[in-house]
Amino acid sequence: MTALLVKNIGILQTPVGSFSHKGKAQGENQKRKDAAIVIENGLIREITDGGKLPQGAENADRVIDAGGRLVTPGLVDGHTHMVFGGYRQHEIPMKLKGAGYLDILRAGGGILDTVRKTRAASFEELYTKTRGFLDEMLSFGVTACEAKSGYGLEAETEIKMLQVLKKLNEEHPMDVVSTFMGAHAIPDEYKEDPDAFIDMLCEDVMPAVREQNLAEFADVFTEDSVFNCEQSRRYLERAKALGFGLKIHADEIEAIGGSVLAGEMGAVSCEHLISIDEKGLEALAEGGVTAMCLPATSFYLGADFAPARKMIEMGIPVAAASDFNPGSCPSLNLQFVMNLACIKYRMLPEEVLTAVTINPACAIDRGDCIGTLEEGKQADLVIWNAEDMEMLCYRFGSNLVKQVIKKGEYIA
């Protein structure tokens, strides 16, 4: 048994509990001064504060001196599309000339461009590229993430993407939780008959993904010009019957009823929500659905920002994630997401920490083992080049990570 002692922590700041935090509780963090943590077998054995050291600390095999810095739980990125072929930097001039996100998709570009490149990429190419992204995420303080398929839109490539994620979850220090997102766009082959595409996903691809245990969640892009509510409901009902947890991309551009559907169907989270209306907000609150807000996407699209402040006031648990993808958010920097959550959503630093730790952890069904620093939980933590959370929400554009510790192992 080897023990690691992290001592001389200026402030240890963490939400408490294994459930998602909403309303006033979103802003409740525990702050322990002059703290220390003993980690054993990858788990937190004991936390102390007030300059006191945990029992047996003197026998620790390794000691890290945090130098009076801030320590938080490892960040959790609850929404990414990180497996993809190619990039879409060529869209930049189109956008600057006025083409919108959906204009590019309707013209056969956007997601469909990435689909062509992902279908053409080998397993090894995708594996190596995604591994690089995971390394970069860890360096920014992210220790667990969600990742979606959805650039195959047919069985072979969807499964290839999910197998890449499965292998990376096994081989990389990052915890990776997979979501099947076959209903991400209508492929050219089904342009004239999107209902038949949904049938094919429900009858062929989804059961195969389930059988091979390649994803825990299913997600759909419910949006004007993509999937309507009726198609989304049919897809999600099949997913629910097969045992997937549900997620819905809703109200990113237009509120066509996706967030209402998320509430009705008991989705674990609902994504984007830039254009959510009153009915949608009520449905999320009643259904206990986590709002997975993606402020870096709003930034990159030059769009409005989701009404996160109102969501908190209405008792909806709010999470903030990167949405890392080659189209609408080519950044995986969750620290920038935290800055935006503070400045654009007007969330307080404590609320922001909850939004990037325990709330997304619960939205990927890992609330019992990650997302807070408590005895018995996995020892995923970040030592920051900052003295408090305010500093983390205030400095932007730099990487403020000093050290990342994942399952008790010193990583970066």
Nearest residue (CB) to ligand IZC, 115 versus 405: 115
**Bridge partner list, 76:** 144
Tell me the C-alpha distance between 232 and 173, whole Å.
Answer: 34
Instruction: Show the binding pattern over residues 67-106: x = contacts ligand IZC (CB under 6 A), - = does not.
Output: --------------x-------------------------
For residue 344, the minimal CB distance to ligand IZC (Å) is 18
When binding is defined by CB under 6 A, the residue of 127, 190, 221, 336 that contacts ligand IZC is: 221
Partners of residue 329 on adjacent β-strands: 325
The two three-digit tokens of residue 286, written as one number: 């009643």
Residue 17 or 330: which CB sits closer to Zn ion?
330
Interacting partner of 328 out of ligand IZC, Zn ion, none (Cβ under 5 to 8 A depending on kind): ligand IZC
Shortest distance, CB of residue 294 to ligand IZC, whole angstroms?
A: 9
Question: Which element (helix H / strand E) includes 140?
Answer: none
If we measure between CA atoms, which residue out of 255, 264, 315 comes closest to residue 291? 315
Closer residue to ligand IZC (CB): 273 or 348:
273
Q: Whose Cβ is closer to ligand IZC: residue 54's or residue 152's? A: 152
- Output 74 or 110, the one with its CB closest to ligand IZC: 110
Regarding 295 and contact with ligand IZC (CB under 6 A), the answer is no
Q: Which of 6, 9, 60, 111 binds ligand IZC (CB under 6 A)?
A: 111
Q: Does 322 bind ligand IZC (CB under 6 A)?
A: no
Q: DSSP characters for 177-231?
A: EEEEEEETS--GGGTT-HHHHHHHIIIIIHHHHHHTT--SEEEEEE-TTSB-HHH
Q: What is the DSSP string of 77-132?
A: E--B----SS--TTHHHHHHTT--HHHHHHTT-THHHHHHHHHHS-HHHHHHHHHH
- Which member of 10, 326, 349, 367 binds ligand IZC (CB under 6 A)? 326
Among 10, 73, 109, 110, binds ligand IZC (CB under 6 A): 110
β-bridge mates for residue 70, sequence order: 11
Q: Is 218 in the site for ligand IZC (CB under 6 A)?
A: no
Which DSSP string corresponds to 358-399?
HHHHHHTT-TTTSSS--TTSB--EEEESSSSHHHHHH--SS-
Residues in contact with ligand IZC, counted by CB under 6 A, come to a total of 11
The b/e string for 142-176 (b: 16+ C-beta within 10 A; e otherwise) is: bbbbbbbbbbbbbbebbbbbbbbbbebbeebbbbb
Per CB under 6 A, 327 contacts ligand IZC: yes
3-state secondary structure of 272: strand
CA distance to 69, 159, 206, 216, 362, per residue, from 213 (Å): 41, 11, 10, 8, 20
Nearest approach in angstroms of CB 360 to Zn ion is 13
403: contact with ligand IZC by CB under 6 A: no
Positions 304 through 323 that interact with Zn ion (CB under 5 A): 323
Nearer to Zn ion, 12 or 274 (CB): 274
User: Of 328, 333, 357, 378, which one interacts with ligand IZC (CB under 6 A)?
Assistant: 328
308-334: burial string, b at 16+ Cβ within 10 Å, e else = beebbebebbbbbbbbbbbbbbbbbbb
Minimum CB distance to ligand IZC, residue 322 (Å): 12
Which of 80, 325, 333, 359 touches ligand IZC (CB under 6 A)?
325
Question: Which CB atom, from 85 or from 141, has the smaller least distance to ligand IZC?
Answer: 85
CB atoms within 10 A of CB 369: 16
- State which of residues 249, 366, 377, 406 lies at the interface with ligand IZC (CB under 6 A): 249
Nearer to ligand IZC, 110 or 367 (CB): 110
Q: Which residues contact ligand IZC (rule: CB under 6 A)?
A: 81, 110-111, 114, 221, 249, 252, 325-328
Q: Which residues contact Zn ion (rule: CB under 5 A)?
A: 323
